[in-house]
Amino acid sequence: MQTEQAATRAFGERLPLATQYAQILTTVGVERGLIGPREVDRIWDRHVLNCVVVQELIEIGADVVDVGSGAGLPGIPLAIARPDLRVTLVEPLLRRATFLEETISLLGLDVTVHRGRAEEGTTHVAVGEADVVVSRAVAPLGKLMGWCLPLARVDGRVLALKGRSAAEEIDRDRSSIARVGGGSLVVRECGVGLLTQATTVVEAVRVAGGRRRR
């Protein structure tokens, strides 16, 4: 499917907001070093659309935490496409957190930005209360799950956008993920029929127990 058509399908009547966000990424985002200049031509396919299709796995009204949001990926595309979600962006670096605050204000989104590291488990990010924790390009799967699973409620889920390495990372880190409360691990494909390359997601369900990883 053509990019424009896929974007219309994914964002519906909120497409103008998504277009505004893509423009912010390719201008201010590049100027401030959050987005590489080579990403400008592929900002929709590789970034905005690659992230938004994960909405397929998120239930209506979910409390969503995006760990290591950077320039807002995947949290901002999800918040644009799905105003029913309560989205919190977690990002430790001041420069990036400032960009996120400014961007959500420009877009008029009701999104919370929390400056900090996921494993610090502050009260601001309701530890153990998120329905869904999402994350892209932040850490190897085992380490990432150690940070993200404690933020999810029991029976809540972590959705890690992973690409081709997904199955290999699961094989390598399965036992360490079980120790931090990862119940079942499933690889899902999002955006099939919409994107040239579907987004590969590792889904982990949080079970009771599990040790926090620092």
Residues near ligand SAM (CB under 6 A) = 67-71, 73, 90-93, 96, 117-119, 136-138, 147
Least distance between ligand SAM and beta carbon 34 (Å): 8
Q: Which two tokens stand for residue 132?
A: 């869904």
Least distance between ligand SAM and beta carbon 13 (Å): 26
Least distance between ligand SAM and beta carbon 23 (Å): 17
Cα separation of 87 and 126, whole Å?
Answer: 12
Strand order in 63-67's β-sheet?
Answer: 111-114, 86-90, 63-67, 130-136, 152-161, 199-206, 182-190
Least distance between ligand SAM and beta carbon 63 (Å): 17
Cα separation of 115 and 71, whole Å?
Answer: 13
Q: Which residues pair with 11 in a beta bridge?
A: none
Nearer to ligand SAM, 73 or 79 (CB): 73
Nearer to ligand SAM, 17 or 71 (CB): 71
Nearer to ligand SAM, 94 or 208 (CB): 94
CA–CA distances in Å: residue 196 to residues 7, 58, 70, 199:
13, 22, 24, 10
Nearer to ligand SAM, 36 or 193 (CB): 36
